[in-house]
Amino acid sequence: MLHIIGIPNCNKIKNTKDWMEAKGVDYEFINVKKEPLTVDEIKDLEFKVGMDVLINNRGTTYRKLGLKDKDLSDAELIEVVSENQSILKRPILVHENSVLVGYDEEAFENFLKENELIAE
């Protein structure tokens, strides 16, 4: 099952859901406001794609936390993400061991084909 991770009032999440529904792709939406990712889940995502990909460094949360001028380790960043999950770049698509971060319809298409969620 494809998982889409994000927050429901995000336009990129809404667009992603609309895109998936138009393609007939079944998915489960994980609302990190109601069901925050665990530290282990964040570590797993970090291992697969890296913190630089996971964190939205242009977003409001990132700026509010003043992270631009801080030199935090990945462990410290994982703690920040754990406490401020709206800092995650959206959407995050997860299928088994594959992860795709960010809104990109061409990348969605390739991701779904590679994971055999849609036909070639």
pLDDT digits (tens, 9 = 90+) for 41-100: 999 999 999 999 999 999 999 999 999 889 999 899 999 999 999 999 999 999 999 999
Q: Please indicate, yes or no, if residue 53 is contained in any of the structural domains.
A: yes
Residue 21 has pLDDT above 90, yes or no: yes
As a whole-number percent, the residues of the chain with pLDDT over 90 amount to 95
What is the reported pLDDT for 53?
Answer: 96
What is the reported pLDDT for 68?
Answer: 87
Q: Please indicate, yes or no, if residue 88 is contained in any of the structural domains.
A: yes
Q: Please indicate, yes or no, if residue 44 is contained in any of the structural domains.
A: yes
Could you give the strand order of the β-sheet that contains 92-95, starting from the edge strand earlier in sequence? Answer: 27-31, 2-6, 92-95, 98-101
Q: Into how many domains does the chain fold?
A: 1
The boundaries of the domain holding residue 99 are 2-114
What is the reported pLDDT for 27?
Answer: 98
What is the reported pLDDT for 93?
Answer: 98
Residue 89, domain CATH? 3.40.30.10
Q: Whole-number mean pLDDT of the chain?
A: 96
Q: Kindly report the pTM of this predicted structure.
A: 0.94
Q: Please indicate, yes or no, if residue 120 is contained in any of the structural domains.
A: no
The DSSP letter of residue 10 is: -
